[in-house]
Amino acid sequence: MDPGLLSLLALLPILSVFALIVLLRWPATRAMPVAFGITCGLSLFIWGSPIRLVTAAVIDGLVTAASILYIVLGAILLLNLMRESGALHSIRRSMFEISPDRRVQAVIIAFLFGSFIEAAAGFGTPAAVAAPLLVAIGFPAMAAVMVSLIIQSTCVSFGAIGTPILIGVNGGLAGQPEVMEYLGRHGMEFSLYLKTIGAKVAIIHGVTGTLIPLIMIVMMTRFFGQRRSWKEGLAAAPFALFAGLCFTVPYTITGVLWGPEFPSLVGSLFGLTVVILAARRRILTPRQTWDFPPPAQWPAEWSGDLLQSEPSPSSPKTHPSTPWARTDTGSLHETPRGEGPSASVAWLPYILVALTLLASRLWPALQALLSGVQWGWTGILGSGISTAFQPFYLPGFFFIVASALAVLSYRMTGRQAARAAGRTLRSLTGPAVALGFAVPMVKVFINSGTPGGLEQMPILLAGGAAAVVGSAWPAFAAVIGAMGAFIAGSNTFSNMMFSLFQFATALKTGMTPGVIVALQAVGGAAGNMICVHNVVAASAVVGLLGREGALIRKTIIPMTYYLIVSGALGFVLLWWFRI
């Protein structure tokens, strides 16, 4: 079959997802079963994949989907417990004590705290933490998810203590003959080469990511403000740029000097400390406080089903003397004295999630203990595909532990806890359907083909793009990374899938392979902004399922910025600095 036609056919699964969700505005619960059927049909009848291979890929996908649902379940359970206890009101109040400006709150919670959670855990966890916290302090659910997705870019390449580089790029390049031959000619060890790739990734992200907080708040004021104004976001530019630099400067220095494990962790911790202090002292913060319009004026698509559709029966009532108090579907509630936990107690579960995630990734003995318990299947149905579920190492476990702490520390009754648990289970039906088809579709797409036959769909698709683009490849290398993340739902998987392809393409076109592989990693991080897995999981946490297309149409804007700027930086590194 003609290679060009094969490339077009390999593009069909991606086009079907984009067309159904983004253009036709189907909910993921309808779109993903169709995309799954198209992908399976292509794999079986065009790529000639044995049915046992497709079945094995589907089983692997279902296990991965269960892992994502496990995280979503824990995040929603904790959120509902906090809602029942009144803890959300205390969190609202504590954030307003730092700043009542929604732009400042988004920078602190979404960009900086979300980056810290990504640094510790990865796996889409930041949206499961940041989005409900933003909804809790009065953000419309769609705005909360949008900003939580936008920040899953700069911090992602070094998330989960450097997993996308240390496992993703490493898994794609280690031991490959062309890589070993190249390193031998240049007298370089692979471990050092991996570190230099990480340094280039840090530099590209450091320049590109500095503007992410500003882009995030400009989009927030444009799409969710009373005046739908870009200018109201730009009014906070000094604070947003300051916050961006507080993250990216230590981030870049760490990535260049010390390797890929800690850039996101160091950048987020430094940024949180400095930016919160600055916000408390009103340093560089906007002169005029910006807020969303009154909740009664919100379009229906802005609000989710979990927090903003009905008042909690045990929530404290609004205190009439508080100047920013609103109704229960609104932005903030002041907790009357003596009702609900204090702010320090209210934050305890989320602090526990952050600390335990960090300890489980940095303390080798604890990491080995938790990750050593897994239910897996090696060589499913005689294929080369294996899968595993790690109940105590996945972030969902830490959310459940934090939920147990919440019941105790908030002194909740059994009836309150049961009500929160029931609401949580009822909210998982939609995400289970969407993820139950989305993730298996991805696994079938990645595992298509047979030895000696056609290459896997994503590899063939990338090869077709390289043949068309030629010497302009640096402008498109990051796009392939983003495509991989959009398909696979992970920067790590994208890097595993395409790093060797990017390396080989660079050699064929006479470019420095390390820069091209770095662009792959950066693009893979940017692709997380529109990744269907992330969008579905983040939407599910705040009860926004079915509006994935509206979110992707928004987050594709900052992703496009990221790909254009990183591509331009790639040309600069290749042709100006010649590194």
- Measuring CA to CA, how many Å separate 80 from each of 109, 400, 412, 456? 19, 12, 12, 43
Res 324: pLDDT: 36
Residue reference for tokens 């939920």: 403
pLDDT in tens, 481-534: 999 898 877 899 899 889 999 999 999 888 999 999 999 999 999 999 999 888
Q: Are 326 and 318 in contact (CB under 8 A)?
A: yes
Question: Can you tell me the distance from the alpha carbon of 89 to that of 548, in angstroms, rounded to the nearest whole number?
Answer: 28
Question: Can you tell me the distance from the alpha carbon of 161 to that of 121, in angstroms, rounded to the nearest whole number?
Answer: 8
**Which structure tokens are listed for 87?**
């803890």
* pTM for the full predicted model: 0.86
Radius of gyration in angstroms for the set of CA atoms belonging to the chain, rounded to a whole number: 23
Res 335: pLDDT: 37
Picking from 80-84, 406-410, 562-566, which range would have the lowest pLDDT averaged per residue?
Answer: 80-84
Percent over 90 (pLDDT), the chain:
66
Q: Are 42 and 9 in contact (CB under 8 A)?
A: yes
pLDDT in tens, 246-257: 999 999 999 999
Res 306: pLDDT: 63
Q: Are 255 and 196 in contact (CB under 8 A)?
A: no
Q: Are 385 and 56 in contact (CB under 8 A)?
A: yes
Question: Can you tell me the distance from the alpha carbon of 341 to that of 91, in angstroms, rounded to the nearest whole number?
Answer: 10
Per-domain residue ranges of the chain: 3-309+328-576
pLDDT in tens, 377-395: 999 999 989 999 999 999 9
pLDDT in tens, 442-480: 889 988 987 778 888 988 888 888 888 888 899 999 999
pLDDT in tens, 312-352: 333 333 333 333 333 333 333 333 334 578 888 999 998 99
Residue reference for tokens 């990744």: 531
